[in-house]
Chains A and B, each alone.
Chain A
C-alpha cells in the first residue's frame, strides 16, 4: 500500500490527547505553542476520537460540521438490514448479523480527504467490501456497485431540506469495489461506529474524496450501468462519478492542490495533497489510460 501509515508510527490516543490538552492550555495564553509538534506536522497521527466524531459532513443531519454529532443520536440503527440486489446470485434483505457473519474485523488507518480541502487520519474497523460481494455472488454481467443511505426524514432532519436529492446514493466501478483497500467500516478506534460517522455500516474508499464513502448503507445493488451519485446529480460540473483525490484537478471554485489537516495547528496545518490521497501505488492501475481531467 502506497505510503502506508505503519501502526508503529501511530501515537496512542491517550498520548495524543494529552499533547492536545497541553497545546490547548498553552495556546490560550501564548502564541508560540501554536506551532505543531514535529510529529503532528508529518500528518502521520490519527485524529482524536473527539475530532473524528465531532467534525464531519452528514447532510442528513444538517449542513454544519457539528450537526451530525448533535442530531445523529436519534437515528435507529438496530434492527438494521441491507438489501443486496441486482446482478447477484443471492439477492435479498440481509440482516446486519448476516452481513457481518464470518467477517474478520480489522483495523485500517486511512487518510480521509474531504472535497472541501480538509483532511484527517482515521483508524477504522471493518472488513473488505469484496468479502460481502463475493458472498452475495457477483454475476459476470455486473460492472458497477450502487449504494443507498437510509431515508428516514423523521429521524434525519436534513432530509427535509432539498440541498441534495434523497436518499443519498453513491457508486463504484466493480473493480474499485473489490479493491482490497475498499472497506465496509463498522467501527473506529476499536469502538462501535458512532451514528454521526455512518452507523452501523459505511463505505470507506480512501483514495477518493470523502463524499464517495457513503454512510448508513441500506442497499447495495450490482448493475451493468454506471449508477447516479448524489453530488453529481446536484452539481454535475463540480462533482464527478470518480471523485479520485487529485491535486492536479481543481474543484471549479477552489484548489485541490493542498489540504488543511484537521488538528494540525492553527495556521501551520496546510500540506500538499497527494495523488490518490497517497494510495497511488495501489490504485493508479485502475485508471490506466484514462484522462482524469475528463473523468473527475
Chain B
C-alpha cells in the first residue's frame, strides 16, 4: 500500500482528480449535456471539487496518525489540485461577470465574494510556498504558514453557504462535519500524546 502510494506519479493524480473530471464537464457542457446553462454548473462544480480535494488534503495527517496509512507524498499535489479548482472557479466567475470593474464592485459589495477572494489569497500563499525550496527556506515557520489551510477550509464553506439561495442543501453539512472531524481528531491525538509524554 505505502509503496503504491509513494510510487504514484503526480501526473496520474492530476489526471484522475483534475484533468479527467474537468475535461468531462467541459465536454458535457459544450455538447449540451449540462442543459442550457452549463456555466452555472461549471461554476458550482469547480467550487465543490475545490472543497472536496481541500478536505482530502487536510485528511492526510489524521489518516496517517490514526490509520497508519501515509499519503504524505500526495499531500502537496492534493493541495495544488484544490487550488487549481479554486482558480478555475474564480476565472469562470470573472468570465461570467465580463468586466473587471464589475468584479471589483462585487468583491467589495458582496460579503460572500469578499470571503471567496480572501480564500483565493490564502490558496496562493500556500501554493507558492508548497515546494521543497520553500520548506527549506522557511524552516520551522513553514508549519505556521501552512496552518492556514484550516481557516481556509472554514472560509470556503462559509463562502459557499452564504451564496446559497436556501441552506437546505446537504453538501455543505457533510463538508463541515468532515472539516470539524479532522480538527477534533488532530486535537485528540495531540492531547493523547501529551498524556503519554507526561506519564513517561
Contact between A116 and B95 (Cβ–Cβ < 8 Å)?
no
Which 5 residue pairs across A and B have the least CB separation, nearest first?
A163-B168, A51-B36, A267-B95, A27-B30, A55-B36
What is the interface residue range for chain A against chain B?
Answer: 20 to 34
Q: A163-B168, A262-B36, A262-B37 are in contact. Are A270 and B106 (CB under 8 A)?
A: no
B32 on the interface (CB 8 Å rule)? yes
Residues 1-60 of B contacting A (Cβ, < 8 Å): 27, 30-32, 35-40
Taking CB atoms, residues of chain B closer than 8 Å to A63 are 166, 168-169
Contact between B96 and A267 (Cβ–Cβ < 8 Å)?
yes
A134 on the interface (CB 8 Å rule)? no
Taking CB atoms, residues of chain B closer than 8 Å to A54 are 35-36
Known: A24-B31, A54-B36, A65-B40. 11 other contacts (CB 8 A): A27-B31, A47-B36, A55-B35, A63-B166, A116-B165, A118-B37, A253-B111, A254-B110, A260-B40, A267-B39, A270-B96
A interface, over-half SS: loop
B160 on the interface (CB 8 Å rule)? no
A229 to chain B, nearest CB (A): 16
Taking CB atoms, residues of chain A closer than 8 Å to B31 are 24, 27-28
Digit string of B90-124 for contact with A (CB within 8 Å is 1, else 0)? 00000111100010001001111000000000000
Q: How far is the CA of A234 from the CA of B165 in the complex (A)?
A: 11
Nearest residue (CB) in B for A55 is: B36
Residues 143-189 of A contacting B (Cβ, < 8 Å): 161-164
What is the interface residue range for chain B against chain A?
Answer: 20 to 34
Nearest residue (CB) in B for A25 is: B31
Nearest residue (CB) in A for B112 is: A253
Taking CB atoms, residues of chain A closer than 8 Å to B27 are 28
Q: How far is the CA of A118 from the CA of B37 in the complex (A)?
A: 9
A190 to chain B, nearest CB (A): 20
A91 on the interface (CB 8 Å rule)? no
Contact between B169 and A263 (Cβ–Cβ < 8 Å)?
no
Nearest residue (CB) in A for B31 is: A28
Q: A255-B106, A260-B96 are in contact. Are A161 and B35 (CB under 8 A)?
A: no
Q: How far is the CA of A268 from the CA of B39 in the complex (A)?
A: 11
A11 on the interface (CB 8 Å rule)? no
Contact between A28 and B166 (Cβ–Cβ < 8 Å)?
no
Digit string of B145-171 for contact with A (CB within 8 Å is 1, else 0)? 000000000000000001101101100
Contact between A161 and B168 (Cβ–Cβ < 8 Å)?
yes
A266 on the interface (CB 8 Å rule)? yes
Residues 69-114 of A contacting B (Cβ, < 8 Å): none
Taking CB atoms, residues of chain A closer than 8 Å to B40 are 65, 118, 260
